[in-house]
Chains A and B, each alone.
Chain A
Amino acid sequence: MRKYMSVLLAASVSLATTNVLADNNADAQELKDYFIKKFPGVTTDALVNGAYALDEGLYMQWQDVEENFPPYEDFVAKGEEIYNTPFANGKSFASCFGDDPSAVRVKYPHWDSETQKVVTLEGDINKCLQDNGEKPLKSKKGSLAHVSAYLAFEARGQKVNVVVPDDPKAKEAYEQGKQFFYAKRGQLNLSCADCHVYQAGMYVRADLLSPAVGHTTHFPVWRRKWQLADKNEDGFGTLHRRYDGCNKQVRAKPFKNQGEEYRNLEFFHASMSNGLEINGPGYRK
């Protein structure tokens, strides 16, 4: 019976992916329109500020931190230093990413037609290290997040532009990410969309739920919660670290960092912010 069910499921999934043409920009527009209608007075561009776009008092406090005491500056500088330090073979990250560090962030995530996979910035930072005989970095926090933060900082103000190419495999990856986003999971039976689409703007205890559009623009994120828990007071974490936390919060087993599930989710998730400004790294509580 179980075998039969999974065959049936696989058949329906492949039907869905061949019949429905993934149009990521139409999906993004639909979500933006939904939020603009849901939050009168909030502009699409302001959604990059997350929950702070929805509450003026919270916004003022947050701006004060971002503008006057950004706690992440030293760690962005560390990222810059790592980025510019030559590898043992004499090459550096520029040999993989080009001479302009401000032109890197905006290229990710993207579909790689050669490997038939979604490639993330963090994935390519580690690929660059390995291709040059260096050890890969841990993928959730620390040095990898610092390099990512530096590249995001350099790219601030540029617009997110995730492209889903006209390739059935790319569209399938996008659809899988979308499916992940809208599927209920975990013991608490909550989807990403439950909190960050349908209930966005509502409170869970004292926490204001942020809209999904504008989520990925400020990653990697600096969280006060992570800063307080870290012995070096390093609050940085990658988008996949955040996915990990979200999955744990709904009491679901997290997926592998930089694994296919989270990469495809990032492909969909980031593309919902197409046209919005990159404002990473961002401070959150």
Chain B
Amino acid sequence: MTKPSQRIAILLSALVLSTGLLSTAAMAADDAVAQGKQLAFDRKKGNCLGCHAIEGGELPGNIGPPLIAMKARFPDKKKLYDQIWDATARNPMTAMPPFGKHGALSDKQVELITEYIYTL
């Protein structure tokens, strides 16, 4: 005979498991956004806050524009990816480092950061 609290725990984990199965895709997307955010905020990785204000980020720089309304500014998500991968393609004089082109971030990392930035 299980105790009521154990029974609730089992029930809850079953519930969590089934929800998970139903929305694996949604969870993966959330996960990509979370990983992207971590990379974006990491000073040794994206360090986006070095130059851009981002909601929830402390002491941002202001060399680049605040990262807001990204879907309106980049209707095509691929263009945002390209901008992070190599901003010099559009403007050779830009102060934005070509993160992908110079290998500061892997293509996968640029992809994850793009997923996060696109939610802003």
A117 vs chain B, min Cβ distance (A): 32
B91 vs chain A, min Cβ distance (A): 12
Taking a contact as CB atoms under 8 Å apart, the answer to whether A199 and B95 are in contact is yes
B54 vs chain A, min Cβ distance (A): 12
Chain A's closest residue to B104 (CB) is A187
- Within 8 Å CB of B97, what residues of A? 187-190
B63 vs chain A, min Cβ distance (A): 5
Number of B residues near A (Cβ < 8 Å) is 16
- The CA-CA distance from A195 to B61 in the complex, in Å, is 12
- Within 8 Å CB of A199, what residues of B? 63, 95
A134 vs chain B, min Cβ distance (A): 42
- Within 8 Å CB of A207, what residues of B? 61
- The CA-CA distance from A202 to B52 in the complex, in Å, is 11
Taking a contact as CB atoms under 8 Å apart, the answer to whether B95 and A205 are in contact is no
A146 vs chain B, min Cβ distance (A): 33
Taking a contact as CB atoms under 8 Å apart, the answer to whether A205 and B104 are in contact is no
Beyond A203-B61, A203-B62, A206-B59, is A190–B95 a contact (Cβ under 8 Å)?
A: yes
Chain B's closest residue to A187 (CB) is B102
Taking a contact as CB atoms under 8 Å apart, the answer to whether B51 and A204 are in contact is yes
A246 vs chain B, min Cβ distance (A): 14
Number of A residues near B (Cβ < 8 Å) is 15
Taking a contact as CB atoms under 8 Å apart, the answer to whether A251 and B104 are in contact is yes
- Within 8 Å CB of B66, what residues of A? none
Chain A's closest residue to B86 (CB) is A189
Q: In this complex, which of A195, A205, A251 has the most chain B Cβ atoms within 10 angstroms of its Cβ?
A: A205
- The CA-CA distance from A26 to B58 in the complex, in Å, is 41
- The CA-CA distance from A258 to B28 in the complex, in Å, is 53
- Within 8 Å CB of A187, what residues of B? 97, 102-104
Contact of B50 among A194, A198, A204, A251 (CB under 8 A): A204
- Within 8 Å CB of B93, what residues of A? 198
Taking a contact as CB atoms under 8 Å apart, the answer to whether B104 and A188 are in contact is yes
Taking a contact as CB atoms under 8 Å apart, the answer to whether A205 and B61 are in contact is yes
- Within 8 Å CB of A188, what residues of B? 97, 102, 104
Cβ proximity bits A172-206 to B, threshold 8 Å, 1 near / 0 not: 00000000000000011110001100110011111
B84 vs chain A, min Cβ distance (A): 13
- Within 8 Å CB of B50, what residues of A? 204-205
A residues 190-241 near B (Cβ < 8 Å) are 190, 194-195, 198-199, 202-207
Taking a contact as CB atoms under 8 Å apart, the answer to whether A204 and B63 are in contact is yes
- The answer to whether B110 has its CB under 8 Å from any CB of chain A is no
Taking a contact as CB atoms under 8 Å apart, the answer to whether B63 and A203 are in contact is yes
21 pairs from A and B in contact (CB 8 Å cutoff): A187-B97, A187-B102, A188-B97, A188-B102, A189-B97, A190-B95, A195-B95, A198-B93, A198-B95, A199-B63, A199-B95, A202-B61, A202-B62, A202-B63, A203-B60, A203-B61, A203-B63, A204-B63, A205-B50, A205-B60, A251-B104
Instruction: List the 8 shortest-distance A-B pairs measured between CB atoms, nearest first.
Output: A188-B97, A206-B59, A203-B61, A204-B61, A187-B102, A202-B63, A194-B95, A203-B62
* Sample of 6 more A-B contacts, CB < 8 Å, known A203-B61, A207-B61: A189-B88, A189-B102, A202-B61, A203-B63, A204-B61, A205-B61
Chain A contact residues, CB within 8 Å of chain B: 187-190, 194-195, 198-199, 202-207, 251
